[in-house]
Structure 1
Amino acid sequence: MKSLLNAEWGRDGIVLLSRVLLMLLFLIFGWEKLTEFDQTTALFTHMGVPLPAVATVIAIAAEVGGGLALALGVFTRPMAVLMAVYTLATSVLGHHYWNLAGSERFLAEIAFYKNVCIVGGLMLLYLIGPGRYSVDRKLGIA
């Protein structure tokens, strides 16, 4: 019987599941930004995001495009780094809890540190690579 303490027994399946779970948030909210483009742009305008329409397009490309790429294991290592930079940048721009008070501060702080944790997961993905069940592996670039 294989020990659960030795994760090598299911490494590739676990990497695939991890890639999908890590990207689930991006895919859900990226799709929402895409289907509610005007509302997202209005929100970005309200938040003071520079060039809100351009920022909306960038967010959609990163979240849907980057999310799909990583879930499928396409250019996994460079995409993991790009998504980590994007996630950290959006944390600083969109979840600046240090300027808020009360429940707004609490919710923004949760979102900020959730994103920081996602950056940690993306950096691990960069280190371990896409695993066997990936487009990268099929193309021989894993």
Structure 2
Amino acid sequence: MRYNLFGPGNSAVLLVSRILLAALFVLFGWSKVTGFSGTVDYMAHVGAPVPMLSAAIAVIMELVVGILILVGFYTRPLAVLLALYTVGTAIIGHHFWNMTGADQMANMINFYKNVSIAGGLLALAVTGPGRFSIDGK
């Protein structure tokens, strides 16, 4: 039998995928919780509805859901939820279509990075976390 490193059932690659996807969310979720008042101010600045609630949702989605994806717990539904959140944050936080110059380019890049990350999360939702996960036990 031939071994296919990149086959959909390869748990090691799925583990690396979860680590890479979760790293961004856990890192920035942690910075949001440790600088919560700044997070609330930022939410108000970008026009997020109810900035205090939006900041709390951001912490839960990024830190808590990020950790759960990392360990592979309820991976499929949480990956879909985090993908929707990521597209939502792209729309709320990176509205490049209202900008010009360098701000427009920077926000366009971040908008499409969010869209791409959402694509990775949806792929994870389809494949599942692999056997090196809580779901896989």
Taking structure 2 as the reference length, the TM-score comes to: 0.94
Q: Cα distance, 1:9 vs. partner?
A: 10
* Equivalence for 2:115: 116
User: Structure 2: which amino acid aligns with 1:113?
Assistant: Y
| Structure 2: stretches of 5+ with no match in the other structure | none
Kindly provide the CA deviation profile for residues 16-52 of structure 1, in whole angstroms up to 9, marking residues without a partner as x: 0100101111111110000000011111112221110
SS in 2 for 1:135: coil
Change (3 A) 1:130 1:10: closer
User: Structure 2: which amino acid aligns with 1:106?
Assistant: M
* Equivalence for 2:43: 44
* Equivalence for 2:62: 63
Kept in 1: contact 2:9–2:130 (CA 8 A): no
Which structure has the highest helix share of the two?
1
Coordinate RMSD, CA, aligned: 1.8
Q: 1: CA distance between counterparts of 2:8 and 2:83?
A: 28
* Equivalence for 1:7: 6
Q: 2: CA distance between counterparts of 1:74 and 1:11?
A: 18
User: Structure 2: which amino acid aligns with 1:135?
Assistant: I
Bigger relative CO (Cα 8 Å, ≥ 6 apart): 2
Change (3 A) 1:122 1:9: closer
Identity over aligned pairs, percent: 43
Moved over 3 A (4+): none
* Equivalence for 2:79: 80
Kept in 1: contact 2:47–2:92 (CA 8 A): no
Q: 2: CA distance between counterparts of 1:44 and 1:80?
A: 23
Kept in 1: contact 2:72–2:133 (CA 8 A): yes
